Structure formats: structure tokens, C-alpha cells
Amino acid sequence: MSRQPSDMLPAESPRGPINSRIPDGDNRPRLVCDECGFIHYENPKIVVGAVCLHEDKLLLCRRAIHPRRGYWTLPAGYLELNESTEAGAAREAREEALAEIAIDRLLAVYSIPRISQVQLIYRARLARPDFGVGEESLEVALFGWDDIPWDDIAFPSVHWALAHYRETAHLADFPPFGNPPGATGNY
Amino acid sequence: MSRQPSDMLPAESPRGPINSRIPDGDNRPRLVCDECGFIHYENPKIVVGAVCLHEDKLLLCRRAIHPRRGYWTLPAGYLELNESTEAGAAREAREEALAEIAIDRLLAVYSIPRISQVQLIYRARLARPDFGVGEESLEVALFGWDDIPWDDIAFPSVHWALAHYRETAHLADFPPFGNPPGATGNY
Ligand SMILES: [Zn+2]
Ligand SMILES: [Zn+2]
């Protein structure tokens, strides 16, 4: 991912002469820059990622960046401007795992309201068998289900996506999952 | 919707001493405020909305705001901070159509890269038969399929969502649709 070092976490807080007030014609407080008058709308962020299969193994990346440096995650990150969600998921796999992926279908849509994130996670395959270690990864590897480093997974939603992948591994078609019942992704 | 008057269109451009440059540790130009140093990350926006059914009719709102004032749309708008996508879709129906809805499932995920929008459109029912005209609507009404004002629909994605709703009207379960093949939502 290429946006902020806080992959799968909220953007950093503004640092500037920014105060919260309700702009004219709005109905909620927004962050307004006292100097330039710009309204710093805070918007929920879209994270795109993929569970990538290759010969019955799943591709995971060990994070080289904070938060959760050293823990394993899916290739995933913030959607960029002017990018479709599928293109964004493919870009993240390219950046973090030097992998070209073929997206199959939407696996899940997770909402993590506390950090204002919506995650769109796709089911995909490696389009070529080769991959490598991207700049934001310490290590990239394929794991059979039983070899996944379950105790060292970076984020709850990575657990969710792997479990949801597992439930649909033999299905061609399925509606995407949402959050597991009662789960908010907070930790 | 309560964010900006440009519902289902991009946020307005920043107005301030903001220039484009690549921040340290990033790999793309971002808008940086010369005065406060704040990095105005431009993020894709998430639009949430619903095709709402009541007794075989669909709920549409005639827009009281620009763009496309006077044209018909689904209750939809920008997801707010700390809101799940389902809660956001329900809020939009409440704001624009004074309607309480029961969300059934995800109908579609549309990407509109030119305006950096991802739309999550749900299938829903009215939870109560009453509705009304919200602040941003001129008129709110239920339409049978053949009575939908097809020539006065506000946005391409409203056409897509209605057609996709129609395809699944008798299905309990289905994978969500994406953009119609080749369609980008530009107009
Ligand atoms: Zn500013
Ligand atoms: Zn500023």
C-alpha cells in the first residue's frame, strides 16, 4: 500500500490550525483550517485487498511497517483516486508481494466503524507463480491452511477474510460476507 | 445525504494555499497545505444507498439539490465517519425519504473511477409504510416498474441499480453486481 504507513488503520490526525465547527449549510462539525478556510472533510477510507490462492496455498505478507510490524496480513491497502476497487486490490498485490493476481469475485465487505474503514476483500489467484518481497513487506510466502501463522496475524479482519475464504473455497458463486456477527474489528 | 451538495459526484476541489508535491516517504503527489502543512489526502469516497421495495413498488427521490436537480435517484449519499455501510444506507433513506428501511443484502458494488467513487447499493424494504419528503428531495414516491420515470433518472448508476434489482427480484441469495460490462458511470 502506498498511502499512509497506517495500512488498515485510520489516517493520522490533522496537524495544523484546524478546529472543529459546523460549516454553513452542513449539519455536522467538520475540521476547518483557520488559515486557509479549507474544510478538511474526514471521509471513511476504502481498503481493498485479496485472499490470493496458488496451488491450494494462500499468499500472506509479513509487515515491514507499523502498525503490527512483523505480523502477517493479506496484500491490502487504501484505494487510490481514480481507481476501481478491483484495480486497487491488484495494485496492492503488486506492491506488497510483487504478484500479479487474477481477481475472481468479491469475498467480503467489512465495516470497521471505529476507524471509519470499509474493506473490500476479493478472492483471487496468482496469475503467475512468481512473487517477491515488496517494499512494505519483510517476507512474503504461500501457506497451506494448517501452516498459516495464526498467532501472528496482524488484524482481526485478516482472520475474518481467511475464515470466509475457507467457507467458500469450493463454491463458484456466493454472496460476499460481512463482519462476523457482533464483530467490529476493534482490538 | 448530509456531506456535500454534490451527492454521487466528487467532492469540491480544495480552495486554499494548497500545492501538489510528494510528501516524504510517499510515492505520489498529494495536496499539501502551504500554511498548515496538513496533507490533504484525497481519498475515494464511499456512497451508500438502497433500492427500497414496498408492495412491489420502488422508492425514488426527486433531487432538490444540484447536480441533477429535479431528476430521480435512489436514497443514497456519502458514508459518514464511524458508520457501517448498512447504517449509512439506512440513514440516507431516513434523511432523504423520511423512511425506515430494513436492509436485505448487498445488491451491487460500483466503481466510478473518474470521480473516485465506490458505491455500495443494498436491497431493502420499507420497514414501515410511511415515508415523506426529506430536505434534499423535491418529491418522494413509490413506482411500479413500468411507471419509473426512466427519462428523468439522475445518474447512470441509478439505472444500473434498478436493472440489477430487477434481475434479482425473485432471488433470495446472489453475489452482488459490479458495473455493467464496459460501463464507467461517466456521462
Ligand atoms: Zn489549509
Ligand atoms: Zn490547512
Q: Checking DSSP bridges between strand A137-143 and strand A57-63, what pairing results, if any?
A: antiparallel
Average pLDDT, chain B: 88
Whether B38 and chain A come into contact, CB under 8 Å, resolves to yes
Q: Report the pLDDT averaged over residues A56-74.
A: 97
* Residues of chain B numbered 4-23 and touching chain A (CB < 8 Å): 4-5, 11, 14-18
Q: What is the residue range of B27's domain?
A: 14-43
CB-CB under 8 Å, B44 with A46 = yes
- Residue B38 is part of a domain; what is its CATH number? 2.20.70.10
CB-CB under 8 Å, A37 with B36 = no
What confidence category does residue B187 fall into, taking pLDDT thresholds of 50, 70 and 90?
Answer: low
Average pLDDT, chain A: 88
**What percentage of chain B carries pLDDT values higher than 70?**
88
What confidence category does residue A16 fall into, taking pLDDT thresholds of 50, 70 and 90?
Answer: low
CB-CB under 8 Å, A106 with B2 = no
* Residue B89: its H or E element: helix B85-97
d(CA A171, CA A160): 17
Is residue B1 assigned to a domain?
no
- CB burial readout B69-78, b (16+ within 10 A) else e: eebbbbbbbb
- CB burial readout B109-121, b (16+ within 10 A) else e: bbbbbebbbbbbb
* Complete edge-to-edge strand list for the sheet that includes strand B18-21: B18-21, B30-33, B39-40
Query: Closest Cα to residue A115, out of A151, A163, A78, A80?
Result: A78
Residue B78: closest C-alpha in chain A: A43
B107 and B34, same structural domain? no
- Cα(B35) to centroid(ligand 1), Å: 6
Is residue A84 assigned to a domain?
yes
**What percentage of chain A carries pLDDT values higher than 90?**
72
CB-CB under 8 Å, A16 with B35 = yes
A116: which chain B residues are within 8 Å (Cβ-Cβ)? 81-83
- Residue bearing cell 489526502: B41
CB-CB under 8 Å, B175 with A174 = yes
Instruction: Dig out the grid coordinates for B133 from the structure.
Output: 419528503
Dihedral sign from CA coordinates of B120, B124, B127, B128: positive
* Radius of gyration of chain A from its Cα atoms, rounded to whole angstroms: 18
Q: Checking DSSP bridges between strand A30-33 and strand B57-63, what pairing results, if any?
A: unpaired
Predicted TM-score (pTM) of the model is: 0.83
d(CA A80, CA A93): 14
Which of the residues B82, B121, B174 would you substitute to probe the A interface, choosing the one with the greatest number of A C-beta atoms within 10 Å? B82
Span B119-138, pLDDT tens digits: 999 999 999 999 999 999 99
B25: which chain A residues are within 8 Å (Cβ-Cβ)? 5
SS3 B28: coil
d(CA B90, CA B83): 11
Q: Kindly tell me if the per-residue pLDDT of B4 is higher than 70.
A: no
- Residue B150 is part of a domain; what is its CATH number? 3.90.79.10
Q: Based on the structure, what is the number of domains in chain A?
A: 1
B84 and B162, same structural domain? yes
Residue A18: closest C-alpha in chain B: B36
Span B145-170, pLDDT tens digits: 999 999 999 999 999 999 999 999 99
Is residue A10 assigned to a domain?
no
Cα separations in angstroms, A49 against A105, A121, B19, B114, B141: 12, 5, 30, 21, 39
